[in-house]
């Protein structure tokens, strides 16, 4: 073996003065802003009418009490709002910019407009931006919003040639546009396991799957946002296939994905074969038989076959989250059936 | 959370790089069960960025072996750490040559020979970033390196056991290739006189720049001989509340771009002491706005001034720990400030017993790693904490919930270095300089087509025209086409607007903003469409990608501009309306200031396009 020079601090002029690990970080959890006391009511004006809602509510909740249907994409009631999609923005008197309804808390005397020209323009543009850069074919909710706001995603030009895998090159580098086409996030579907596929060409980067995999449900942290700007993407470390990652196949990320970017392999295969018929499917709620926790499962059945399993968000035990057995256990049932019948 | 760390154990160099920051592993040989046992506190995450720097410096890229080892030591999931590393432009997630030349092709350099340098390098080394990992060197295009006064500029870095970085400006393709020839030895950049960056050097009226050129930046002795640390002594005599009173009375306004009154922040952080004993001071030295280099000049030429200023701020507001976040592309500033911190500690100006009194304050220096967005204060907190540099939602504001969730005072370098003067000469006297709305003196960054580029200090109130005069007038053809004020996030002004007072209120009155005080004139030969395309590309590259309006809007904006200027038949007619709508959604619905201002320069130029075209037609034929 080649003899190596001993490593000393002097050999690293830049590192020698790097910080020591002794920075006093205060002990204990990071303090969160105090939760608002819920008894008190707050009065605000929404679209000219007075609304009274409990203190601590969000503008989204306040709008709901007025029967106003606010579009949302990155919001989900069982996750902390990340407020990144900005489709829910409303106009708040006195604020320089629009504010996200999903995370902004109500304050006494707020005057809010939810359907002004400014609001409509921003919502339409956000939807056009997404629909012109992402494949939204399995995102019916987004499509319906697009129609509601009259978005025309075609106007940015035909989709640019897919650049292939997006992970090459350091952050902050891109090829100049050709002046004709519109860049998209189109890329090959990732099929690297039998349980679910990842089609990031359909990803609107709502961060929900990362939340569900991490602190807010699964605590596995198999996936995170990588890259920067338009090249941001959901990724495992060094883009390794899922079986090499920390993933435990709880499927919670599939459960929260609003665009079908994450999809049961069974659903994906059926869609590819043209056999997926959502309108013909029946849903049955049952209790997961695998352990004593008692999670509610919603089984989606088509032609007497279970085709996927979800869990209702408002269910107390799971709040929509499951484990591999609940999420995918039915596949073994079906697998056996298949073997029998063949 | 159970960490799942796959792959090979680290190579020796990989481990050494990580250990250089975290110290050697206690348990001897690393085996997987050690990874499970050795569980440092979760709060060590803030060391991730320094560890990534060490890895990139040593190995030349962020290798899986090194990253996994770091994750085991920091108790971090590899996917998270990967996502953080991949956020920064200076880190490579794939193998690449040891020597990297970062060539600035941003606005000022674009006008001063950067295209020719890039072409030459492409001829010699192939397209940017294309070199094989086994090659000796590679080159990349870089956003503004903060050396616009000496354009064209480049930064050369060599990884290895004895890594080095070297900023070269002005430079040439030959000089760069020569520097990269010998990765074993750091090239000696030709000495640059301080007077080159500070043409006013030595003038009596200077306040902030008065010591520049009069002292050895490394010498605490020189600093003391030039009146250094008198302000700290005075501040200690006055006590926190009086110091804060003076800062309020001075009506000092933040110089980092957002123009927020400094005294209000200081007071809020001081007040928070009753509920939050642990609070932080952060000095924002991430200076990355294209065209801006004032903070670099202060840090390189008078580093102790910044250390003294931070110490006053820390003691006054009761923050025992300060962080100085310097942009990754400023190796000289980093070295000089690191040295200054060590000297100050050694001589009792930092640490537990400052001035031999029962006063405690210390400074950690952190380096950015190539991300403009980390200059946004909440993105900067995330970056220090070891997360992706994504801005946080406001409210809550930093003075309530800032770094590590604690009340935090964040100020720009220039804001802070005003404080010693305020302490010594009084807030009222400071407020007497300048205009009622913009008090004190201001540093302006002049580059582009001016005869004498550099940092200029003037009392607030000077007009744009007088600033150009101060810098020797319009260079190039000598005939002015327009001026970019405030940087890429700023506004283009036409020659008609030269009498605009360069104050916060004066620029606001015409719908512009002072921003980071960039003043960059263009002569009538410049093809402004190229400049606008460069600005659009900048925002596309630097958007953090968190929110849709900015992540996609910056892309669509660049595309629509290139449609407009490319003259492609379809869509040209639609382009102006599209650009206006893209601009509106970005400024209305984005999360942070980057998105809010990403269309400002472009919209302002298009609004004055006819004027600019007339001026251009008058001189050279358009190409
Ligand atoms: C995209 C973006 C980049 C910024 N970059 C910087 C910077 O490099 N330096 C700086 O001092 N402030 C920068 N700011 C402003 C900071 O968010 C913050 O307002 C400032 O540091 C506060 O200090 P001040 O009050 O002393 O100006 C930036 C803001 C945005 C939105
Ligand atoms: S299946 Fe579960 S563990 Fe795997 S990525 Fe999704 S949320 Fe994370
Ligand atoms: S994969 Fe789905 S859940 Fe995850 S960020 Fe993309 S759209 Fe959201
Ligand atoms: S505006 Fe741009 S930089 Fe700011 S949070 Fe949104 S995507 Fe990130
Ligand atoms: S739903 Fe509010 S920002 Fe996405
Ligand atoms: S250093 Fe090149 S533009 Fe600033």
Let me know if residue A30 belongs to a domain.
no
pLDDT tens across A75-89, in order?
998 889 999 999 999
Report percent pLDDT > 90 for chain B. 89
- Tens digit of each residue's pLDDT (9 = 90 or more) over B410-442: 999 999 999 999 999 999 999 999 999 999 999
Residue that is written with structure tokens 């674009």 in the block? B110
C-alpha to C-alpha distance for B423 and B420, rounded to whole angstroms = 5
Confidence check: pLDDT of A335 > 90 = no
Q: What's the number of domains chain B is made of?
A: 5
Minimum CA–CA partner of B565 in chain A: A179
CB B167 within 8 A of CB B104: no
Q: A52 with A92, same domain? A: yes
Å between A281 CA and nearest CA of chain B: 33
With a cut of 50, say whether residue A26 has pLDDT above it: no
Whether A211 is in a domain gets the answer yes
Alpha-helix runs per DSSP H in B129-277: 173-181, 194-197, 220-225, 230-238, 240-250, 262-271
Indicate which CATH number applies to the domain containing A230. 3.30.70.20
Euclidean distance between CA atoms B311 and B300, whole angstroms: 18
Q: What is residue A25's predicted lDDT score, i.e. its pLDDT?
A: 46
* Same domain for B358 and B503: no
Contact B522, B475 (CB under 8 A): no
A chain contacts of residue B552, beta-carbon cutoff 8 Å: 129-130, 132-133, 230
Q: Which pLDDT score is estimated for B5? A: 84
d(CA A294, CA A311): 12
How far away, in angstroms, is B390 Cα from ligand 2 center? 23
Asked if B209 contacts B443 with a C-beta cutoff of 8 angstroms, the reply is: yes
Where residue A62 falls (left for φ over 0; alpha for ψ -120 to 50; beta otherwise) is alpha
Q: What is the pLDDT of residues B488-542, one digit of tens each?
A: 999 999 999 999 999 999 999 999 999 999 999 999 999 999 999 999 999 999 9
Tell me, what's the pLDDT at A27? 46
Q: Are residues B401 and B444 in the same domain?
A: no
Residue A332: pLDDT above 90? no
Beta bridge partners of A310: A298
Establish if B445 belongs to a structural domain.
yes
One domain, residues A153 and A222 = no
| Coil, strand or helix at A225 | strand
pLDDT of residue B25: 80
Question: Taking 60 as the threshold, does the pLDDT of residue A342 lie above it?
Answer: no
Q: What is the pLDDT of residue B9?
A: 86
Q: Which of B326, B262, B291, B247 is nearest to B515 (CA)?
A: B291
Cβ–Cβ gap A176/B334 under 8 Å: no
Q: Which of A109, A105, A111 is nearest to A37 (CA)?
A: A105
Same domain, A278 and A317: yes
Whether residue B590 is predicted with pLDDT greater than 90 in this model: the reply is yes
Same domain, A44 and A103: yes
Whether the CB-CB separation of A23 and B406 falls below 8 Å is answered with: no
Ligand 1 atom having least distance to the Cα of B292: 8
**Residue A239 covered by a domain:** yes
Could you give the C-alpha distances from A172 to A72, B329, B365, in angstroms and in order? 29, 14, 24
A200 and A314 share a domain? yes
CA distances from A269 to A196, A197, B86, B509 (A): 10, 10, 33, 61
pLDDT for the residue numbered A36: 47
B534 plus B515 within the same structural domain: no
Q: Tokens at residue B267, please? A: 């007071």
Q: How far is the CA of B484 from the centre of ligand 6 (A)?
A: 14
Q: Could you tell me the CATH number of the domain that includes residue A126? A: 3.10.20.740
DSSP per residue over A136-191, as a string?
A: -TT-HHHHHHHHHTT--GGGG-SBPPP-S-TT-S-TT--PPP-SS-B-------B-
The last residue of a domain, from among B430, B447, B470: B430
ipTM field: 0.94
pLDDT digits (tens, 9 = 90+) for A99-148: 999 999 999 999 999 999 999 999 999 999 999 999 999 999 999 999 99
* Ligand 3 lining (C-beta closer than 6 Å): A 203-209, 234, 256-259, 261-262
Please write the tens of the pLDDT for every residue from B482-499: 999 999 999 999 999 999
Pairing mode, strands A233-235 and A89-92: unpaired
Nearest to B79 among A13, A177, A246 (CB): A246
Number of Cβ within 10 Å of residue B270's Cβ equals 21
In a domain, A166, yes or no: no
Strand extents, DSSP E, B77-126: 99-104
Q: Is the CB of B286 under 6 A from ligand 1?
A: yes
A191 and A119 within one domain: no
* Domain-terminating residue out of B500, B523, B546: B523
If asked whether residues A128 and A190 sit together in one domain, one would say no
B329 touches chain A (CB under 8 A): no
Give the model confidence (pLDDT) of B357-412 as tens digits: 999 999 999 999 999 999 999 999 999 999 999 999 888 999 999 999 999 999 99
Q: Does B529 touch chain A (CB under 8 A)?
A: no
Segment B566-573 long-range contacts (CB within 8 Å, at least 24 positions apart): B566/A178, B566/A179, B568/A179, B568/A180, B570/A157, B570/A180, B571/A157, B571/A180
B491 and B417 belong to one structural domain: no
For the CA atoms of A315, A317, A322, A324, the dihedral, rounded to the nearest 10 degrees, stands at -140
Instruction: Give pLDDT, residue A23.
Output: 44
CB-CB contact of B511 with B437 (8 Å): no
Residue A13 belongs to some domain of the structure: no
Mean pLDDT of B228-249: 98
Q: Is residue B349 part of a domain?
A: yes
Query: Which of B523, B540, B571 delimits the end of a domain?
Result: B523
CB contact set of B569 (below 8 Å; sequence gap of 6+):
none
Q: Rounded to 5 degrees, what are φ and ψ at A123?
A: -65, -45
Whether the per-residue pLDDT at A320 is higher than 90: the answer is no
The SS3 of residue B597 is helix
Q: Which residues in chain A are contacts of B83 at CB distance < 8 A?
A: 224-226, 235
Question: Does B54 contact A12 at a Cβ distance shorter than 8 Å?
Answer: yes
One domain, residues A83 and A117: yes
Amino acid A166: pLDDT = 59
pLDDT attached to residue B475: 97
Q: What is the CATH number of the domain that holds B493?
A: 3.10.20.600
Residues B495 and B539 in one domain: no
Q: Give the tens place of pLDDT for each residue, B264-288.
A: 999 999 999 999 889 999 999 999 9
Sign of the CA dihedral running A99, A102, A106, A112: positive
Answer with the residue of higher pLDDT: B146 or A286: B146
Question: For residue B33, what pLDDT is reported?
Answer: 40
- For residue B222, give how far its alpha carbon lies from the nearest alpha carbon of chain A (Å): 23
Is there a domain that residue B189 lies in?
no
- Name the band, by pLDDT with cuts 50, 70 and 90, for residue A182: very high
Q: Is the pLDDT of residue A96 over 70?
A: yes
> Is A299 part of any domain?
yes
The closest of B366, B272, B288 to B323, measured between CA atoms, is B366
Alpha helix positions (H), chain A: 13-16, 59-65, 117-133, 140-148, 208-213, 252-256, 265-272, 324-341
Query: Could you tell me if B298 and B426 lie in one domain?
Result: yes
Q: Could you tell me the CA-to-CA distances from B138 to A26, A121, A242, B110, B370 in Å, in that order?
A: 43, 44, 32, 20, 17
Statement to judge: residues A198 and A327 lie in one domain: yes
- Give the pLDDT of residue A19: 39
Distance from CA of B325 to the nearest CA of A (A): 12
Rounded to 10 degrees, the C-alpha dihedral B192/B194/B198/B199 comes to -80
Annotate B432-493 with three-state secondary structure: CCECCCCECEEEEEECCCECCCEEEEEECCCEHHHHHHHCCCECCCCCEEEEEECCCCCEEE
Cross-chain residue pair B596–A97, CB shorter than 8 Å? yes
Q: Do B54 and A18 touch (CB under 8 A)?
A: yes
Residue B560 belongs to some domain of the structure: yes
Instruction: Please give the C-alpha separations between residue A285 and each of A300, A322, B239, in angstroms, as whole numbers.
Output: 9, 14, 68
Interface test with A, best of B86, B159, B166, B280 (most A CBs within 10 A): B86
pLDDT band at A270 (very low <50, low <70, confident <90, very high): very high
**Cβ neighbours of B370 in A, within 8 Å:** 170-172
**Could you tell me if B515 and B344 are in contact, meaning their C-beta atoms sit under 8 angstroms apart?**
no
Is pTM, for the whole model, over 0.90? yes
Lowest mean pLDDT among A213-227, A235-249, B22-36: B22-36
Q: Indicate if B381 and B354 belong to the same structural domain.
A: yes
Q: Does a structural domain hold residue B228? A: yes
Q: Is the pLDDT of residue B569 over 70?
A: no
Domain check: are B334 and B423 in the same one? yes
Domain span including residue A191: 185-334
Atom 2 of ligand 2 has which residue's CA nearest to it?
A: A250
Cβ-defined contacts of A140-143 (< 8 Å, 24+): A141/A73, A141/A258, A142/A73, A142/A204, A142/A258, A142/A259
Residue B523, phi-psi category: left (phi > 0), alpha (psi -120 to 50), beta (remainder): beta
Distance (Å) from CA B375 to ligand 1 centroid: 5
Distance separating alpha carbons of residues A320 and A297, to the nearest angstrom: 9
* A19·B77 Cβ contact <8 A: no
Which structural domain, as residue segments, surrounds residue B129? Answer: 99-179
Q: Supply the pLDDT for residue B450.
A: 98
CA-nearest of A186, A173, A210 to B93 is A173
In a domain, A80, yes or no: yes
Judge if A263 and A306 occupy the same domain. Answer: yes
pLDDT at B602: 98
The chain-wide mean pLDDT, for chain B, equals: 94
A227 and A314: one domain? yes
**Within this chain, do residues B437 and B412 fall inside the same structural domain, yes or no?**
no
Q: Are residues B225 and B344 both part of a single domain?
A: yes
Per the CB < 8 A criterion, the answer to whether B292 and B518 are in contact is yes
**Banded pLDDT at A341 (limits 50, 70, 90):** very low
B588: contact with A, CB 8 A cutoff: yes
What are the percentages of helix, strand and coil residues in chain B, rounded to 5? 45, 15, 40
A183 pLDDT above the threshold of 50:
yes
Q: How far apart are CA A118 and CA B373, in angstroms?
A: 26
Shared domain for B265 and B388, answered yes or no, is yes
Same domain, B105 and B36: no
Residue of B144, B251, B282, B376 with the most ligand 1 atoms within 8 Å of its CB, for mutation: B376
Secondary structure (3-state) at B143: coil
Output the domain CATH number for residue B136. Answer: 3.40.30.10
pLDDT tens, position by position, B37-55: 444 444 799 999 999 999 9
Domain count, chain A: 2
Residue A218 confidence (pLDDT): 84
Does B444 score more than 70 pLDDT? Answer: yes
Structural domain contains residue B186: no
Q: Which of B404, B545, B546 sits opposite A26 (nearest CB)?
A: B404
Residue at A28 is within a domain: no
Q: Are B299 and B326 in contact (CB under 8 A)?
A: yes
**Residue B213 counted as domain residue:** no
Give A332: exposed, middle or buried? Use CB within 10 Å, 0-12, 13-18, 19+: exposed
| Residue indicated by tokens 């640019």 | A160
pLDDT at A6 over 50: no
Does the CB of B371 have a partner CB in chain A at under 8 Å? yes
Structural domain includes residue B205: no
Range from A200-209, A299-308, B132-141 carrying the lowest mean pLDDT? A299-308
A75 with A156, same domain? yes
């Amino acid at each position: 073996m080649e003899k190596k020079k001993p490593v000393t601090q002097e050999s690293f002029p830049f590192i020698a003065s790097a910080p020591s690990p002794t920075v006093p970080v205060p002990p204990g959890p990071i303090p969160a802003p105090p939760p608002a006391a819920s008894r008190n009511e707050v009065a605000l004006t929404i679209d000219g009418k007075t609304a009274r809602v409990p203190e601590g509510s969000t503008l989204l909740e306040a709008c709901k009490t007025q029967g106003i249907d606010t579009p949302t994409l990155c919001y989900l009631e069982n996750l902390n709002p990340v407020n990144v999609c900005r489709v829910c923005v409303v106009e708040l008197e006195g604020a320089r910019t629009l504010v996200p309804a999903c995370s902004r808390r109500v304050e006494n005397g707020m005057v809010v407009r939810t359907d002004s020209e400014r609001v409509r323009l921003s919502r339409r543009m956000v939807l056009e931006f997404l629909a012109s850069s992402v494949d939204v074919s399995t995102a019916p909710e987004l499509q319906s919003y697009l129609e509601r706001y009259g978005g025309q995603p075609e106007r940015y030009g035909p989709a640019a040639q897919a650049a292939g895998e997006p992970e090459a090159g350091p952050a902050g580098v891109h090829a100049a546009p050709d002046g004709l086409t519109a860049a998209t996030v189109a890329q090959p579907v990732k099929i690297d396991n039998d349980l679910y596929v990842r089609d990031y060409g359909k990803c609107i980067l709502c961060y929900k799957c990362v939340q569900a995999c991490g602190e807010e449900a699964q605590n596995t942290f198999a996936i995170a946002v990588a890259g920067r700007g338009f090249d941001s993407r959901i990724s495992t470390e060094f883009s390794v296939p899922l079986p090499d990652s920390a993933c435990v196949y709880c499927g919670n990320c599939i459960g929260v994905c609003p665009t079908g970017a994450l999809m049961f392999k069974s659903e994906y295969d059926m869609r590819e074969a043209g056999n997926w018929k959502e309108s013909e499917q029946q849903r049955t709620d049952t209790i997961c038989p695998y352990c004593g926790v008692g999670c509610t499962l919603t089984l989606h059945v088509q032609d007497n076959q279970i085709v996927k399993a979800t869990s209702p968000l408002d269910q107390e035990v799971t709040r929509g989250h499951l484990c591999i057995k609940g999420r995918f256990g039915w596949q073994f049932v079906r697998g056996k059936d298949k073997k029998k019948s063949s | 959370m159970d960490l799942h760390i796959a792959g090979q154990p680290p190579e020796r160099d990989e481990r050494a790089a990580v250990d250089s920051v975290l110290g050697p592993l206690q348990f001897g040989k690393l085996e997987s069960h050690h990874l499970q046992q050795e569980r440092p506190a979760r709060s060590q995450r803030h060391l991730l960025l320094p560890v990534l720097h060490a890895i990139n410096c040593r190995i030349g890229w962020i290798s899986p072996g090194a990253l996994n080892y770091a994750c085991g030591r920091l108790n971090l999931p590899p996917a998270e750490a990967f996502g953080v590393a991949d956020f920064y432009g200076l880190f490579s997630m794939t193998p690449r040559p040891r020597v990297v030349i970062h060539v600035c092709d941003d606005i000022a350099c674009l006008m001063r020979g950067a295209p020719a340098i890039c072409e030459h390098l492409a001829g010699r080394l192939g397209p940017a970033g294309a070199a094989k990992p086994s090659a000796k060197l590679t080159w990349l295009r870089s956003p503004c390196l903060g050396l616009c006064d000496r354009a064209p500029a480049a930064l050369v870095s060599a990884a290895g056991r004895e890594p080095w970085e070297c900023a070269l400006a002005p430079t040439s393709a030959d000089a760069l290739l020569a520097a990269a020839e010998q990765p074993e030895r750091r090239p000696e950049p030709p000495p640059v006189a301080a007077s080159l960056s500070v043409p006013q050097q030595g003038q009596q009226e200077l306040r902030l720049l008065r010591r520049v050129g009069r002292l050895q930046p490394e010498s605490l002795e020189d600093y003391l001989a030039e009146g250094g640390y008198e302000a700290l002594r005075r501040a200690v005599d006055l006590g926190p509340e009086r110091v804060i009173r003076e800062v309020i009375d001075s009506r000092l306004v933040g110089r980092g771009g957002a123009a927020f009154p400094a005294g209000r922040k200081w007071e809020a952080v001081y007040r928070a002491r009753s509920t939050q004993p642990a609070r932080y001071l952060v000095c924002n030295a991430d200076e990355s706005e294209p065209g801006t280099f004032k903070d670099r000049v202060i840090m390189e030429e008078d580093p102790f001034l910044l250390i003294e200023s931070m110490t006053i701020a820390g003691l006054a507001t009761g923050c025992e720990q300060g962080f100085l976040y310097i942009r990754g592309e400023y190796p000289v500033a980093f070295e000089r400030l690191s040295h200054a911190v060590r000297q100050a500690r050694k001589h009792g100006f930092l640490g537990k017993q400052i001035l031999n009194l029962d006063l405690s304050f210390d400074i950690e220096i952190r380096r950015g790693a190539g991300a403009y967005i980390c200059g946004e204060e909440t993105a900067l907190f995330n970056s220090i904490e070891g997360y992706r540099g994504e801005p946080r939602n406001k409210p809550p504001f930093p003075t309530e919930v800032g770094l590590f969730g604690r009340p935090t005072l964040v100020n720009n370098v220039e804001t802070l270095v005003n404080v010693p003067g305020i302490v010594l000469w009084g807030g009222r006297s400071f407020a007497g300089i300048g205009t009622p709305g913009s008090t004190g003196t201001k540093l302006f960054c002049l580059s582009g087509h001016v005869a004498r580029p550099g940092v200029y200090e003037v009392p607030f109130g000077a007009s744009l025209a007088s600033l150009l005069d101060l810098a020797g007038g319009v260079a190039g053809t000598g005939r002015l086409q327009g001026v970019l004020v405030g940087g890429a996030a700023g506004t283009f002004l036409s020659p008609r607007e030269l009498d605009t007072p360069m104050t916060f209120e004066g620029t606001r009155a015409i719908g512009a903003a002072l921003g980071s005080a960039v003043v960059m004139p263009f002569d009538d030969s410049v093809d402004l469409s190229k400049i606008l395309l460069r600005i659009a590309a900048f925002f596309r590259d630097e958007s953090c990608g968190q929110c849709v309006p900015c992540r996609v809007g910056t892309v669509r904006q660049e595309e629509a501009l290139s449609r407009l200027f490319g003259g492609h038949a379809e869509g040209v007619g639609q382009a102006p309306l599209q650009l206006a709508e893209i601009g509106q959604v970005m400024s209305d619905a984005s999360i942070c200031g980057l998105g809010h201002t990403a269309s400002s320069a472009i919209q302002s130029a298009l609004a004055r396009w006819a004027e600019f075209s007339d001026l251009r037609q008058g001189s050279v034929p358009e190409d």
